[in-house]
Structure 1
Amino acid sequence: MTSEPRWATARRGGVYLLVSLFTGVVTVLTLPLLCVPRLARLWAGAHRDRAGRMLATASTAPPPIRRLWAEPAPGRTLRALLWLPVNAVTGLLFGLPALLCVGNIVVAVIATSLWWAFTPAERPRLFVDVAVTGWTTALALGPLQMIILSFVGSVAFAPLARAHARICVAVLARSTNDQLAERVAELTRTRADVLDAHGAELRRIERDLHDGTQARLVAIAMRLAVARQAFDDDPRDDAFVARLLRDAHEGIEAAMTELREVIRTVYPPILADRGLDGALSAVAAGCAVPTRLDIGPIERVPAAMEAVVYFAVAEALTNVTKHSRATTARVRVGRTADRLTVAVTDDGIGGADDRRGTGLAGIRRRVLALDGTVAVDSPAGGPTTITMELPCGW
Structure 2
Amino acid sequence: MSEHAEGPYRSGYTTGRGVTSGRRWSQAWRGGVYLLGSLGSGIVTALALPLLCHPRLARRWAGWHRDRAGRLLDTPIAPRPAPPATARRTWTDPTTRRNLLWLPVNAATGVALGLAALLCVGNLLPAAVATPLWWAFEPEDRPRLFIDIPVTDWADALILGPLQLLLLTALAYLFLPPMARAHARICLATLSPSTAEQLTDRVAVLTRTRADVLDAHGAELRRIERDLHDGTQARLVAIAMRLAVARQALSDNPRNEQFLEGLLRDAHEGTEEAMTELRDVIRTVYPPILADRGLAGALTAVTARCGVPTRLDIGDLDRVPAAVEAVVYFAVAEALTNVARHSHATTAGVRVSRTADRLSVAITDNGTGGADHRRGTGLAGIRRRALALDGTVEVDSPAGGPTTITLELPCG
TM-score (norm 1): 0.72
Q: Conserved in 2, the CA contact under 8 Å of 1:21 and 1:91?
A: yes
Question: C-alpha offsets along residues 134-157 of structure 1, whole Å, 9 cap, x if unaligned?
Answer: 999999987776555434322331
Q: Conserved in 2, the CA contact under 8 Å of 1:340 and 1:391?
A: yes
Q: Conserved in 2, the CA contact under 8 Å of 1:343 and 1:387?
A: yes
Q: Which amino acid aligns with 2:83?
A: W
* 1:23 aligns with one of 28, 35, 41: 41
Q: Which position in structure 2 is the counterpart of 1:69?
A: 83
Answering whether residue 249 of structure 2 is matched by residue 249 of structure 1, we say: no
Question: C-alpha offsets along residues 259-304 of structure 1, whole Å, 9 cap, x if unaligned?
Answer: 3212211121234455556645655666654545444542x73x43
Deviation, 1:368, is 2.0
Q: Hey, what's the Cα distance between the residues in 2 that align with 1:117 and 1:64? A: 56
Counterpart mapping for 1:198-217 below 5 A:
198-206=217-225, 208-209=227-228, 212-213=231-232, 216=235
Q: Hey, what's the Cα distance between the residues in 1 that align with 2:274 and 2:32? A: 72
Q: Which position in structure 1 is the counterpart of 2:8?
A: none
Q: Hey, what's the Cα distance between the residues in 2 that align with 1:113 and 1:209? A: 92
Q: Conserved in 2, the CA contact under 8 Å of 1:276 and 1:306?
A: yes
Aligned CA distance change for structure 1 residues 321 and 388 (closer, same or farther; 3 Å): farther
Q: Conserved in 2, the CA contact under 8 Å of 1:373 and 1:390?
A: no
Q: Conserved in 1, the CA contact under 8 Å of 2:359 and 2:409?
A: yes
Question: C-alpha offsets along residues 22-55 of structure 1, whole Å, 9 cap, x if unaligned?
Answer: 2212222332232233443443343334334434
Q: Hey, what's the Cα distance between the residues in 2 that align with 1:152 and 1:273? A: 64
Aligned CA distance change for structure 1 residues 245 and 124 (closer, same or farther; 3 Å): farther
Sequence identity percentage: 59
Q: Which position in structure 2 is the counterpart of 1:389?
A: 409
Q: Which position in structure 2 is the counterpart of 1:192?
A: 211
Q: Hey, what's the Cα distance between the residues in 2 that align with 1:123 and 1:321? A: 76
Counterpart mapping for 1:101-120 below 5 A:
101-105=120-124
Q: Which position in structure 2 is the counterpart of 1:51?
A: 69
Greater mean alpha carbon deviation, residues 380-389 or residues 68-77: 380-389
Q: Hey, what's the Cα distance between the residues in 2 that align with 1:207 and 1:266? A: 14
Greater mean alpha carbon deviation, residues 376-385 or residues 360-369: 376-385
Q: Conserved in 2, the CA contact under 8 Å of 1:44 and 1:83?
A: yes
The unaligned stretches of length 5 or more in structure 2 are 1-12
Task: Kindly tell me the number of residue pairs found equivalent between the two proteins.
Answer: 381
Q: Hey, what's the Cα distance between the residues in 1 that align with 2:405 and 2:136? A: 58
Counterpart mapping for 1:363-378 below 5 A:
363-374=382-393
Greater mean alpha carbon deviation, residues 94-103 or residues 227-236: 227-236
Q: Conserved in 2, the CA contact under 8 Å of 1:94 and 1:160?
A: yes
Answering whether residue 47 of structure 2 is matched by residue 33 of structure 1, we say: no
* 1:261 aligns with one of 280, 297, 305: 280
Q: Which amino acid aligns with 2:38?
A: S
Over the aligned positions, Cα root-mean-square deviation in angstroms equals 5.0
Aligned CA distance change for structure 1 residues 198 and 39 (closer, same or farther; 3 Å): farther
Q: Hey, what's the Cα distance between the residues in 2 that align with 1:326 and 1:117? A: 67
Q: Hey, what's the Cα distance between the residues in 1 that align with 2:28 and 2:370? A: 36
DSSP-derived class of the 2:193 partner: coil
Aligned CA distance change for structure 1 residues 117 and 226 (closer, same or farther; 3 Å): farther
Greater mean alpha carbon deviation, residues 184-193 or residues 96-105: 96-105
Q: Conserved in 2, the CA contact under 8 Å of 1:353 and 1:360?
A: no
Counterpart mapping for 1:166-181 below 5 A:
166-181=185-200
* 1:6 aligns with one of 9, 24, 48: 24
* 1:154 aligns with one of 164, 167, 173: 173
Q: Conserved in 1, the CA contact under 8 Å of 2:396 and 2:404?
A: yes
Q: Conserved in 1, the CA contact under 8 Å of 2:348 and 2:363?
A: no
Deviation, 1:306, is 3.4
Q: Which amino acid aligns with 2:101?
A: L
Q: Conserved in 1, the CA contact under 8 Å of 2:131 and 2:162?
A: yes
Q: Conserved in 2, the CA contact under 8 Å of 1:123 and 1:131?
A: no
Q: Which amino acid aligns with 1:9?
A: Q
DSSP-derived class of the 2:390 partner: coil
* 2:327 aligns with one of 303, 308, 311: 308
Q: Hey, what's the Cα distance between the residues in 1 that align with 2:289 and 2:43? A: 64
Greater mean alpha carbon deviation, residues 310-319 or residues 149-158: 310-319
Q: Hey, what's the Cα distance between the residues in 2 that align with 1:212 and 1:92? A: 74
Q: Hey, what's the Cα distance between the residues in 2 that align with 1:247 and 1:113? A: 104
Q: Conserved in 2, the CA contact under 8 Å of 1:289 and 1:320?
A: no
Q: Hey, what's the Cα distance between the residues in 1 that align with 2:253 and 2:176? A: 103
Deviation, 1:227, is 6.9
DSSP-derived class of the 2:408 partner: strand
Question: C-alpha offsets along residues 55-108 of structure 1, whole Å, 9 cap, x if unaligned?
Answer: 44x4xx54214x253578844433322221111111111112323444444566
Q: Hey, what's the Cα distance between the residues in 1 that align with 2:411 and 2:349? A: 29
Q: Hey, what's the Cα distance between the residues in 2 that align with 1:205 and 1:122? A: 94
Aligned CA distance change for structure 1 residues 98 and 391 (closer, same or farther; 3 Å): same
Q: Hey, what's the Cα distance between the residues in 1 that align with 2:51 and 2:25? A: 38
Aligned CA distance change for structure 1 residues 210 and 261 (closer, same or farther; 3 Å): same
